[in-house]
Amino acid sequence: MTVEIPLVNGTSQYTVEAYSNVAYQATVEFYEKLLQLKSLSASSTLTLFHSDSLSLEVVLKEDAQKQSAADARRKDILNSRDSCDWRSHVSDSIVFNTADIEIISSKLRADSIRYQAFPTELYAMELYTVDPMGNIVGVTKTKNAVSTMPTAPPAAKGSFASTAPSSSQSTVDLSSAVSTAKEYPSLPTKNGNVQKAIAVMTSGGDAPGMNANVRAIVRTAIFKGCRPYVVMEGYEGLVRGGPEYIKEFTWEDVRGWSSEGGTNIGTARCMEFRERAGRLLGAQHLIEAGVDALIVCGGDGSLTGADLFRSEWPSLIKELRETRRISDEQFTRYQHLNICGTVGSIDNDMSTTDATIGAYSSLDRICKAIDYIEATANSHSRAFVVEVMGRNCGWLALMAGIATSADYILIPEKPASSREWQDQMCDIVAKHRARGKRTTIVIVAEGAIAADLTPISPKDVHKVLVDRLGLDTRVTTLGHVQRGGTAVAFDRILATLQGVEAVNAVLDSTPDTPSPLIAINENKIVRKPLVESVRLTKSVAEAIHAKDFKKAMGLRDTEFVEHLNNFMAINSADHNEPKLSHDKRLKIAIVNVGAPAGGINSAVYSMATYCMSQGHRPYAIYNGWSGLARHESVRALDWLSMLGWQSRGGSEIGTNRTTPEEADIGMVAYYFQKYKFDGLIIVGGFEAFVSLHQLERARDNYPAFRIPMVLIPATLSNNVPGTEYSLGTDTALNALMEYCDVIKQSAASTRGRAFVVDVQGGNSGFLATNAALAVGAQVSYVPEEGISLEQLSQDIETLSDSFDKAQGRGRFGKLILKSKNASKVFTPDVLARVITAEANGKFDAKSAIPGHVQQGGLPSPIDRTRGTRLAIRAVGYIEANQEVIREARADEDEFDPDDKTISETAAVLGIKGSHVTFTSIRQLYDFETEVAKRMPKVIHWEGTRAIADHLVGRKKVETD
């Protein structure tokens, strides 16, 4: 069959004809559900769907013969779903562009509608289905179906009828027509007609990142055509009311807030709001200010008060009307109050979310302090007891324990009797000391307790270490240092994305919608029921006070429990009897491939110590594949020699970019056979990805590679297919963010100056895009988009307007981030000179080259703890696949490397959305990778660029 490739003409108006009443109704329902459109008008013979970007008519023209032909065509197409590409059945189809293809695919699955996905269902960029009239209908994430180049729609009207379909394919942008998603990203491309007033307040304890959250809410509200308000001083401002406390904000009012710590709109405890009379005043003041929706950034207490406020709202406004404190018109206008919560808490004590705003900033302070303490402790062979915050949640103590390789932690969720915790701690510390460790670090959560609920203080721990072990011991209480300072990159980005989604949520809310909480699971922004999240959070404290510690642990998120188990496993290393019997113990090798990245050493340390606790024997391949092929650089790892690796940057076992084929894959296989490795863990970037591919493909010729193999992505470029997060990206983001903060301060001090910052990342714009979001850069140029003269001209004009608005005020240093590969012509120096020349004296631009500073020094706590988590998952994967490989190797003559079960034993360990996944290297390399560009085909962070642009008011030039 000859396949005709249709042209793309971008038709945005078309007609679908149906030939029976049943088919007409089915077609209307199909397009209404698929496109999430509301009909502008409807009758028994014509239904019109209309939005800003398209017009669709469904017309009934009774004709039994044509209907019969359409039914037969539809049946024929559906029956061929698994045997051929539907697009080969027709010379044309109609294709829509959508902002979120996941919405469409989930609806198709929910309604059991058959469809085909390309290139794969896992990473679908195009979906095709069949409408009730037998027409092929598609949706795509690209700007048109056969090219990623945008096209301008023609003015002429197109028609798509079932008997005489259009001779060309249509591509229509539906991103503004599709309703706001529950999944991020969900910004529309055009402002809606909503004119709501949205207020934001911060409440409870302050947390780094709150200012970024407020900034995102204010600017997103403006972008969506709403009026933003801030409530000063938390609930106290709500009770006091008036323009002094409930202020309308402008775009410029929140400029530069991302890089400032604390909360600029204030927070305060308010006893009055706990009483109904206080909430009545709060309702009156919101109505007087004309506020329709309230977003609260705070902890569980603040969010509990917010949801109570909403539930009481009907009775509050009724009382206000009866007492004539509001008018009948106001009563009618403000029948409902939409409330949304974003969680700002350094304790990370909110259930249903992996991280709260400020938690990782606080953890960063703790880890830096302990890193400093470790140095002085080592000098004197001392023990240090460090108290950290966490009244009912031991997350900070637990994560700091993992990130700094602490000897022991005390947290409220897992207490023991007074005698037990003392014995356990002394046993572990004594074993560590006996094996040559000179330092002892014990971390105590503020709410640490014994099994009888007796508080455990740092002084109690100090006494035990001195009296029973005779250690020279000091106590350090970090206190409010943990709250201070600016937010780390993760918290700035998290707060920003949650702020954007919070505005989406209140605009989506109806009177019947439960109040949402904006959360993050793994790498995905999601909405959760606020009431349920708060209830679960309070249940933990209640379970602890009831001494039901098993229930308290069960109520914690599974990730918390996983981290706790990981800490206990790597902390025991080879000090206790291994968990596994001799016949299940393995030889597992680990190698670093590619450039250094933060968290690599954490992965190596955690893999090795976990292997020891299980009974496996860990080996390191030093200096990559070239080290192995040339020098047989294989060394068994031991616990003492790895002390301190968890918190070190770089790569302690060495790394380079050489692949096995470049090094001599035959020699690599020889040494694998010599040492009889049972599994391999590779940690690295794209070269590591290619290495895994080469080893998997070589299994047919080299039996030594017929072992489970797994890759842990580690690269600041974050360009490894199969994951949305690579080790080292957070460390690099923090290093680049701190550099940019300093540069921005210089630019602001000089006045009238912008800096062009050169950003690493190869062909990936991930680092530049996320750094721009974290530091509020005015412009970011990435390889995926390049630098057009039209866009550069527009950016210079926007910068000029922005400097005009500054009028000598502070916080007006401007940053332009340019990925190194965004343009070979426009280097940072050239770009700075062009901008200065075109600015006509209004401002000037200088270049700034951070270079390898971007690789970071000490790894961030996120990279340390994720390195640990992923390394232990990788070992588990190798254990789980031993039986599969053993059976396949039983008869080497019958070994089939193309068998799916076998090929899946070589995989990439990644984070996709809200899940940790293993994806076979064959699937990723063959179908989901642009090998020449060293990039995945699907850019998972693409939506972040739109948000980064929107929040600084950047105008994008549409090109043909």
CATH number at residue 656: 3.40.50.450
Is 923 known to sit in a ligand binding site? no
Q: Are residues 869 and 920 in the same domain?
A: yes
119 prior amide bond cis, ω within 30: yes
Q: Are residues 447 and 589 in the same domain?
A: no
Neighbours of 711 (CB within 10 A): 30
Q: Are residues 517 and 588 in the same domain?
A: no
Distances (CA, A) of 188 to 96, 149, 197, 216, 769: 16, 20, 18, 15, 19
> What's the rounded Cα separation, in Å, for the pair 373 and 383?
10
Closest CA to 124 of 930, 927, 949, 951: 927
The two structure tokens encoding residue 699? 């299994």
The per-residue pLDDT for 765 is: 95
Sign of CA dihedral 96, 100, 101, 104: negative
Is 506 known to sit in a ligand binding site? no
Residue 180 pLDDT > 60, yes or no? no
* CB contact burial 762-782 (16+ within 10 A = b; e otherwise): bbbbbbbbbbbbbbbbbbbbb
Lowest average pLDDT, out of 213-222, 476-485, 809-818, goes to 809-818
Using alpha carbons only, give the angle 585, 586, 591 rounded to the nearest 5 degrees. Answer: 150
Neighbours of 5 (CB within 10 A): 10
Which phi-psi region, left, alpha or beta, contains residue 142 (left: φ > 0; alpha: ψ -120 to 50)?
beta
Q: Are residues 734 and 834 in the same domain?
A: yes
Is 391 known to sit in a ligand binding site? yes
Residue 186 pLDDT > 80, yes or no? no
> What's the rounded Cα separation, in Å, for the pair 707 and 729?
29
Is 761 known to sit in a ligand binding site? yes
**Segment 515-559, tens digit of pLDDT:** 999 999 888 899 999 988 888 888 888 888 888 888 888 888 778
185 prior amide bond cis, ω within 30: yes
Respond yes or no: is residue 347 known to be catalytic. Answer: yes
Work out how many domains the chain is built from and give that number: 5
Sign of CA dihedral 103, 106, 111, 115: positive
Is 762 known to sit in a ligand binding site? yes
- What is the mean pLDDT of the segment spanning 209-214? 96
Contact call for residues 949 and 958 (beta carbons, < 8 A): no
Q: Are residues 643 and 774 in the same domain?
A: no
Is 751 known to sit in a ligand binding site? no
The per-residue pLDDT for 40 is: 65
Is 436 known to sit in a ligand binding site? no
Residue 939 counted as domain residue: no
pLDDT top residue among 230 and 195: 230
Residue 144 pLDDT > 50, yes or no? no
Is 801 known to sit in a ligand binding site? no
Beta bridge partners of 906: 709
Residues 6+ apart with CB under 8 A from 518: 340, 341, 342, 343, 498, 501, 502, 505, 525, 526, 527
**Segment 47-93, tens digit of pLDDT:** 877 665 566 788 898 999 899 988 988 888 888 877 777 876 676 67
In the chain, count of helices (H) and strands (E)? 30, 33
Is 282 known to sit in a ligand binding site? no
Is 382 known to sit in a ligand binding site? yes
The per-residue pLDDT for 764 is: 95
> What's the rounded Cα separation, in Å, for the pair 786 and 875?
40
pLDDT top residue among 91 and 128: 128
Q: Are residues 529 and 475 in the same domain?
A: no
Is 715 known to sit in a ligand binding site? yes
Greatest C-alpha distance within the chain: 96
CA 141 to chain centre: 20
Q: Are residues 688 and 794 in the same domain?
A: no
> What's the rounded Cα separation, in Å, for the pair 911 and 713?
10
> What's the rounded Cα separation, in Å, for the pair 645 and 624?
18
Lowest average pLDDT, out of 3-12, 432-441, 796-805, goes to 3-12
Is 753 known to sit in a ligand binding site? yes
Using alpha carbons only, give the angle 435, 436, 438 rounded to the nearest 5 degrees. Answer: 135
Q: Are residues 778 and 882 in the same domain?
A: no
What's the whole-number average pLDDT of the chain?
Answer: 87
Residue 402 pLDDT > 80, yes or no? yes
pLDDT top residue among 466 and 511: 466
Amino acid at 63: D
Lowest average pLDDT, out of 588-602, 923-937, 946-960, goes to 946-960
Distances (CA, A) of 937 to 157, 202, 711, 841: 33, 40, 19, 42
Is 482 known to sit in a ligand binding site? yes
522 φ/ψ angles, rounded to the nearest 5 degrees: 55, -100
Amino acid at 788: S
Contact call for residues 403 and 865 (beta carbons, < 8 A): yes
Is 760 known to sit in a ligand binding site? yes
Contact call for residues 295 and 503 (beta carbons, < 8 A): yes
Q: Which of 140, 173, 206 is the last residue of a domain?
A: 173
- What is the mean pLDDT of the segment spanning 501-507? 94
Closest CA to 688 of 790, 595, 614: 595
The two structure tokens encoding residue 287? 């109505």
SS3 302: helix
> What's the rounded Cα separation, in Å, for the pair 936 and 720?
7
Which phi-psi region, left, alpha or beta, contains residue 522 (left: φ > 0; alpha: ψ -120 to 50)?
left
60 φ/ψ angles, rounded to the nearest 5 degrees: -95, 120
> What's the rounded Cα separation, in Å, for the pair 566 and 885?
26
Over the Cα atoms of the chain, what is R_g? 30
SS3 781: strand
Q: Are residues 734 and 666 in the same domain?
A: no
The per-residue pLDDT for 953 is: 85
The two structure tokens encoding residue 128? 């095709």
Is 483 known to sit in a ligand binding site? yes
Distances (CA, A) of 809 to 213, 262, 307, 653: 22, 21, 39, 50
Is 270 known to sit in a ligand binding site? yes
* Structural domain of 420: 370-482
Residue 559 counted as domain residue: no
Kind plus residue range of the DSSP H or E element containing 876: helix 861-880
- What is the mean pLDDT of the segment spanning 220-230? 92
The per-residue pLDDT for 807 is: 58
Residue 137 pLDDT > 90, yes or no? no
Neighbours of 338 (CB within 10 A): 22
> What's the rounded Cα separation, in Å, for the pair 71 and 780?
51
**Segment 730-761, tens digit of pLDDT:** 999 999 999 999 998 888 777 788 999 999 99
CATH number of domain containing 89? 3.10.180.10
Q: Are residues 162 and 306 in the same domain?
A: no
CB-side exposure of 714: number of CA atoms within 13 Å? 38
Beta bridge partners of 59: 17, 46
Residue 111 pLDDT > 90, yes or no? no
CB-side exposure of 292: number of CA atoms within 13 Å? 19
The per-residue pLDDT for 360 is: 96
Is 302 known to sit in a ligand binding site? yes
Residue 942 pLDDT > 90, yes or no? no
The per-residue pLDDT for 79 is: 83
Angle, helices 530-545 vs 300-322, to 10°: value is 120
Residue 184 counted as domain residue: no
**Segment 675-729, tens digit of pLDDT:** 999 999 999 999 999 999 999 999 999 999 999 999 999 999 999 999 999 999 9
Is 889 known to sit in a ligand binding site? no
Lowest average pLDDT, out of 83-87, 371-375, 870-874, goes to 83-87
Lowest average pLDDT, out of 559-568, 588-597, 796-805, goes to 796-805
Residues 6+ apart with CB under 8 A from 851: 758
Secondary structure, 3-state, 415-474: CCCHHHHHHHHHHHHHHHHHCCCCCEEEEEECCCECCCCCECCHHHHHHHHHHHHCCCEE
CATH number of domain containing 445? 3.40.50.460
Residue 188 counted as domain residue: no
**Segment 359-371, tens digit of pLDDT:** 999 999 999 999 9
Burial of residue 20 (CB within 10 Å: 0-12, 13-18, 19+) is buried
> What's the rounded Cα separation, in Å, for the pair 755 and 838?
15
- What is the mean pLDDT of the segment spanning 318-325? 94
229 φ/ψ angles, rounded to the nearest 5 degrees: -125, 155
What is the percentage of the chain residues whose pLDDT exceeds 90?
A: 60
Secondary structure, 3-state, 359-423: HHHHHHHHHHHHHHHHHHHHHHCCEEEEEECCCCCCHHHHHHHHHHCCCEEECCCCCCCHHHHHH
Is 269 known to sit in a ligand binding site? yes
The two structure tokens encoding residue 109? 């699955």
Residue 398 counted as domain residue: yes
> What's the rounded Cα separation, in Å, for the pair 243 and 428?
59
Is 756 known to sit in a ligand binding site? no
Q: Are residues 721 and 737 in the same domain?
A: no
Is 446 known to sit in a ligand binding site? yes
Q: Which of 131, 307, 347, 795 is catalytic?
A: 347
Neighbours of 841 (CB within 10 A): 8
**Segment 634-653, tens digit of pLDDT:** 999 999 999 999 999 999 99
> What's the rounded Cα separation, in Å, for the pair 332 and 286?
14
Is 287 known to sit in a ligand binding site? no
The per-residue pLDDT for 84 is: 78
Is 481 known to sit in a ligand binding site? yes
Contact call for residues 319 and 280 (beta carbons, < 8 A): yes
Where helices occur in 573-676 by DSSP H, the ranges are: 600-614, 624-631, 660-663, 665-675
Residue 555 counted as domain residue: no
The per-residue pLDDT for 792 is: 92
Contact call for residues 569 and 872 (beta carbons, < 8 A): yes
Q: Are residues 56 and 114 in the same domain?
A: yes
> What's the rounded Cα separation, in Å, for the pair 139 and 130?
12
Q: Which of 435, 464, 482 is the last residue of a domain?
A: 482
Residue 414 counted as domain residue: yes
Amino acid at 750: T
Residue 192 counted as domain residue: no
Lowest average pLDDT, out of 130-134, 147-151, 692-696, goes to 147-151
